[in-house]
Amino acid sequence: MKRFEAKVWLSTPTMHGDELKYMTEAFQTNWMSTIGENIDEAERLTCEKVGCKYSVALCSGTAALHLCVKLAGIKPGDRVFCSDMTFGATVNPVVYEGGIPVFIDTEPDTWNMDPKALEKAFALYPEVKVVVLAHLYGTPAKMDEILEVCRRHHAVLIEDAAEALGATYKGVQAGMFGDYRAISFNGNKIITGSSGGMLLTDDEQAANKARKWSTQSRENAPWYQHEELGYNYRMSNVIAGVVRGQYPYLEEHIAQKRAIYQRYQEGFRDLPVTMNPYDAQNSQPNFWLSCLLIDRAAMCRQARGEREALYVSEPGKSCPTQILETLAQYNAEGRPIWKPMHMQPIYRMHGFVTAQGDGRASTNAYIAGCGADVGMDIFARGLCLPSDNKMTVEEQNQVIEIVKSCFA
């Protein structure tokens, strides 16, 4: 097999032309700052697509999550239940407000927060009143069960739908389940603004608060009057032009990502691997990233430190490190699964709750395959495959052959 001449990427922006038209309009009319028609339209299109009453255009999905945390009323010292297997941006805003994350293990059916572990967490920490849940890789969590647990314990749900725009659970769009919700338009998302995010809510008062906070909490006065802490979080009218131009292509992008997932699924049918799972009866992911999980019996020996990884090649077996290094040799980009938050040095001493036993788990119990720590096991055996929707069928077929070669 030849090395790819042009790099095959994990996931990159896909532009169509309308984005430039709206950006140019912002330039020509001199609406370059944080107000303008593009912002109004991006917010309207988001409400129209997701089904929420209000959306607030912000500079990033992280900014949206931060304001969700403020709206939820998290105060210094408050424990907050958080998805464990996610990107740090899901969790960090809790710490911005002085909250203490307690991590909830993953379930194997969707790779999202385990409702059983969440129930056990409330038994261990009955004072907790906020849950932060992320939909991993565009696959909705088990929302009926999560919402039932939250209702019984009178907990506010913050929904991180950054990766899941356009995905649905029982016909309802991701971003419609939490009390406060966030989506992202980062450069690698299903649609992009190059950056940017949205806070979503059905509460007009909450939307107005978020809008005020995002513009440095300026009061309605003829001078700069400030009575509470604010942030420079508003989306620019230029970025909003990109988002506005991307929205008509959301369903097209999802269809392309679904086709990539299905080609991988078919191409790997004879390998000892499975694709990232979803509940086909109740949900439709947006298939943002296609991921692979190696069967335990087909794992060669692999060791990971904090920043480096090693493996020992074995006939008929492989591991994420070998596959990722081999893809890189052919000029293709893969990525490890999100390293669970409870394994991160910054959060390693925080609480971590599993569905096994009494729910308590040691954050230092690095025992692969023990079954008590689902997220750690998925991290050990999983990887994200090249999922760029501009990847050709021929390029994807070669990626499939490269992965197969690792098991030769």
Q: What CATH number should be reported for the domain holding residue 370?
A: 3.90.1150.10
In which residue are the tokens 């040095």 written? Answer: 345
User: What pLDDT is attached to residue 363?
Assistant: 43
Judgement on whether residues 34 and 166 belong to the same structural domain of the protein? yes
pTM (whole model) above 0.75: yes
Total H helices, total E strands in the chain: 12, 17
Task: Judge whether 7 lies within some domain.
Answer: no
Q: How confident is the model at residue 242 (pLDDT cuts 50, 70, 90)?
A: very high
Of 59, 42, 323, 360, give the one whose Cα is nearest residue 214. Answer: 59
How confident is the model over 374-397, as a mean pLDDT?
A: 98
Q: How confident is the model at residue 77 (pLDDT cuts 50, 70, 90)?
A: very high
Judgement on whether residues 244 and 255 belong to the same structural domain of the protein? no
Q: Rounded CA gap, 397 and 8, in Å?
A: 12
Q: How confident is the model at residue 379 (pLDDT cuts 50, 70, 90)?
A: very high
Judgement on whether residues 288 and 203 belong to the same structural domain of the protein? no
DSSP 3-state assignment of 234?
strand
pLDDT digits 0-9 by tens, 322-374: 999 999 999 999 999 999 999 999 999 999 999 986 555 544 433 333 346 99
User: What pLDDT is attached to residue 290?
Assistant: 98
User: What pLDDT is attached to residue 263?
Assistant: 98
Contacts of 351 (CB under 8 A, 6+ apart): 79, 102, 103, 124, 125
User: What pLDDT is attached to residue 357?
Assistant: 62
How confident is the model over 133-151, as a mean pLDDT?
A: 98
pLDDT digits 0-9 by tens, 290-334: 999 999 999 999 999 999 999 999 999 999 999 999 999 999 999
Judgement on whether residues 125 and 262 belong to the same structural domain of the protein? no
pLDDT digits 0-9 by tens, 1-17: 899 999 999 999 999 99
Judgement on whether residues 182 and 221 belong to the same structural domain of the protein? yes
Domain boundary among 188, 221, 248: 248
Provide, rounded to the nearest whole percent, the portion of the chain with pLDDT above 90: 96
Full domain range(s) for residue 312 = 250-406
Task: Judge whether 4 lies within some domain.
Answer: no
User: Tokens standing for 292?
Assistant: 């692979």
> How many domains in the chain?
2
Q: Rounded CA gap, 77 and 83, in Å?
A: 19
Which run of H or of E encompasses 198? Answer: strand 197-201
Q: Rounded CA gap, 394 and 402, in Å?
A: 12
Contacts of 375 (CB under 8 A, 6+ apart): 84, 85, 105, 106, 340, 342
Positions of E strands within 29-126: 54-58, 79-83, 100-104
pLDDT digits 0-9 by tens, 21-74: 999 999 999 999 999 999 999 999 999 999 999 999 999 999 999 999 999 999
Provide, rounded to the nearest whole percent, the portion of the chain with pLDDT above 70: 96
Cα 102 to Cα 84, 118, 297, 300, 402: the distances in Å are 9, 10, 32, 32, 39
Judgement on whether residues 222 and 257 belong to the same structural domain of the protein? no
Task: Judge whether 5 lies within some domain.
Answer: no
Judgement on whether residues 257 and 287 belong to the same structural domain of the protein? yes
User: What pLDDT is attached to residue 356?
Assistant: 84
Q: What CATH number should be reported for the domain holding residue 147?
A: 3.40.640.10
- Is pLDDT at 406 greater than 60 in this prediction? yes
Are 135 and 163 in contact by the 8 Å Cβ rule? The answer is yes
Domain boundary among 229, 248, 267: 248
How confident is the model over 176-185, as a mean pLDDT?
A: 98
How confident is the model over 149-176, as a mean pLDDT?
A: 98
Domain boundary among 216, 248, 280: 248
